[in-house]
Amino acid sequence: MHSVVNLTVHGIGPVDRELDPDEDVFWVGVEQFEQVLDAAAGRRDVHITFDDGNASDVEIALPRLVERGLTAEFFVLAGRLGEPGRLDADGVRELMASGMRIGSHGWAHRDWRKLSTEQVRQETEDAHRVLGEITGHPVSRVAIPFGSYDAGVLGMLRRAKVTCAYTCDGGRARPGTWLQPRDSLRHDLDAAWIARVMDGTPSLPLRARRIAARTFKRLRR
């Protein structure tokens, strides 16, 4: 496969908990979500991921994925399991049992560029251990909170033996590379957005800007 499109879903449908600042930008309606799934069905080059461990992962997304024969990867916040509006351990197991893959979104949705030593342990080791215990499988794939990374974050993830790290950099990805860009579903997504993200070739200036931004983030300290 030449390249893949990685999509990120956050919350879907009715909002049932207090949202973090700017989180509403990424919250989509059920119909918008179904439009995306219908476009993704049968496409081996579209990879769907979920961040934040919202209750809508199981309540809204799971039946619709299963209905269309789709699988997805869910990046869960280990320290927020069971909070109102979030997945709990049973929900994580239900996703697994339906053929979905579980990864880590860390512990408490912190910016990984600004962690204390103690928080580094919690966001990597502890999160992987707790999720591993729930799923019965080692967890080594992560989605970086807010897509915020620099050279220090990438070093931390390498030391934690992370095997794949998802960002929010946008644009198509080469399958199998360690750092994978993604495009987030947004509250204003429509058919044109779906066509552009899933099929469009971005303009040369946009591609050049993305490459420059990624290189800058990888190197900055």
Residue 51 binds to Zn ion (criterion: CB under 5 A): yes
Output the smallest distance, CB 105 to Zn ion, in A.
6
Return the closest-CA partner of residue 39 out of 14, 5, 12, 11: 5
Output the smallest distance, CB 104 to Zn ion, in A.
11
Q: Which stretch binds Zn ion (CB under 5 A): 12-20, 52-60, 133-141, 148-156?
A: 52-60
Q: Could you tell me the two tokens for 65?
A: 């994925």
Count of residues interacting with Zn ion (CB under 5 A)? 3
Residue 42 or residue 95: which is nearer to Zn ion going by CB? 95
Number of neighbours of residue 68 by Cβ within 10 angstroms:
13
Contact 13, 56 (CB under 8 A): yes
Q: Which stretch binds Zn ion (CB under 5 A): 37-45, 46-54, 115-123, 200-208?
A: 46-54
Distance of CA 16 to the CA centre of its chain: 20
End-to-end Cα spacing for the chain: 34
Q: Could you tell me the two tokens for 47?
A: 């990879």
Residue 52 binds to Zn ion (criterion: CB under 5 A): yes
Site for Zn ion in 87-146 (CB under 5 A): 145
Output the smallest distance, CB 161 to Zn ion, in A.
22
Contact 132, 124 (CB under 8 A): no
Residue nearest to Zn ion (CB): 51
**Interface residues with Zn ion (CB under 5 A)?**
51-52, 145
